[in-house]
Amino acid sequence: MESAIEARLVNPSFGDPGVYVKFGARGRALLFDLGDSPGLGARDLLRVSHVFVSHTHVDHFIGFDRLVRTCADRSGTVRLFGPSGFVTKVERRLGSYTWDRRSRDGNGLVLGVTEIDETGRTASAEFAARSGFARTDVPAGRVEDGVITDDAAFRVRCVTLEHRTPCLGFALEEKARARVRADALDRLGLEAGAWLVDAKEAVVSGAADDAPVLATVRGPAGPRPTRVPFGDIKDAFEMLPGRKISYVTDIVFNEANLARVESIARDLDILFIECVFLEADARHAARKQHLTARQAGVIARAVRARQVVPFHFSARYTGREAELRAELERSWRAT
């Protein structure tokens, strides 16, 4: 299904975990996990508005420094979410650097950091570049139905999973969106242009027919920006359902974890899931509290994923990637 978002692995399957989700219309992006990210350029990182960190093992969080270094001079807020203890770990990471060369004037970068515990309680703090990233606590809260972010374009839910240390799994829901009907655009005498971004938002928000909308209208003197009633142009758009994507990594395979994943991730368009070991090494996987390819396929089947993207392959299988993928595929497709 056509979508306004593009989701991809940050690294090849043997590299550090991470998924980059880009929203085309507004030019911003989300990150799931912050491992080493040579595949992301500065422009990619400057798009990031939200980061969702499963846990702070080094292969999931070492990229935090590069994100801050890249974005430190930009204005605006980057919001980060992680498990219990996350705020203090961010504070200590920022505190390990000297920020005397950063301007104390203007707005600058702000990191809004939130941690979520197993009961849904949250603790949050802000770290502003203008104060040398000093910590400012903000009121605690609680998430409802697992929802940690509810944006105009998307919603993100999380659940705490078992990996010896608390580890968050995430589900991203793209909200319903509008698509331009080129034939109707032509029939209504409208020209395509940047105005369509705002018009699509009016469609999604259910704007009243008499609400004024700026559109590029053809006329005797050529196309020109004109304010028109929304009702005059709404037939140029159609509504499409959003996609649902889930990110699951670093968990032991047990009934509790499976039930928790299912609670936020059902009927998925894409499941990004770790696929660390082969089933022949299931006992070792259990000791390490990671999934085998077969177990990843069981989860994919349980949540009714239409597409599965495996990652986090163990280096012990270098040269045997096809075996991991084949085992996952057999398990996922089993009846």
Domains and CATH numbers, the chain: 5-175+242-331 (3.60.15.10), 178-240 (no CATH)
Write b or e for each residue in 138-162: b if 16 or more Cβ atoms lie within 10 A of its Cβ, otherwise e: eeeeebeebebbeeebbbbbbbbbb
| Whether residue 183 has pLDDT greater than 50 | yes
In the prediction, which pLDDT does 108 show?
86
In the prediction, which pLDDT does 26 show?
60
Distance of CA 175 to the CA centre of its chain: 13
Smallest Cα–Cα separation from 317: which of 332, 327, 308? 327
* 103 — pLDDT class (breaks 50, 70, 90): low
In the prediction, which pLDDT does 25 show?
56
* 285 — pLDDT class (breaks 50, 70, 90): very high
Angle (deg, nearest 10), helices 293-302 and 255-264: 40
Instruction: Write out the E strands in 144-235.
Output: 147-150, 154-163, 165-174, 177-180, 212-217, 224-229
| Whether residue 1 has pLDDT greater than 50 | no
Residue where the block lists tokens 């990031």: 48
What does the block give as tokens for 284? Answer: 């070792």
CA neighbours within 13 Å on the CB side: how many for 155? 15
Q: C-alpha angle with apex 20: 15 to 22, nearest 5 degrees?
A: 155
| Whether residue 119 has pLDDT greater than 80 | yes
Cα dihedral 255, 258, 262, 264 sign? positive
Average pLDDT over residues 270-288: 97
| Whether residue 105 has pLDDT greater than 70 | no
CA neighbours within 13 Å on the CB side: how many for 210? 0
pLDDT tens digits, 68-80? 999 998 899 999 9
DSSP 190: B
Determine which of 48-52, 97-101, 138-142, 289-293 has the lowest per-residue pLDDT on average.
97-101
Pair 328, 310: CB distance under 8 Å: yes
Pair 247, 272: CB distance under 8 Å: yes
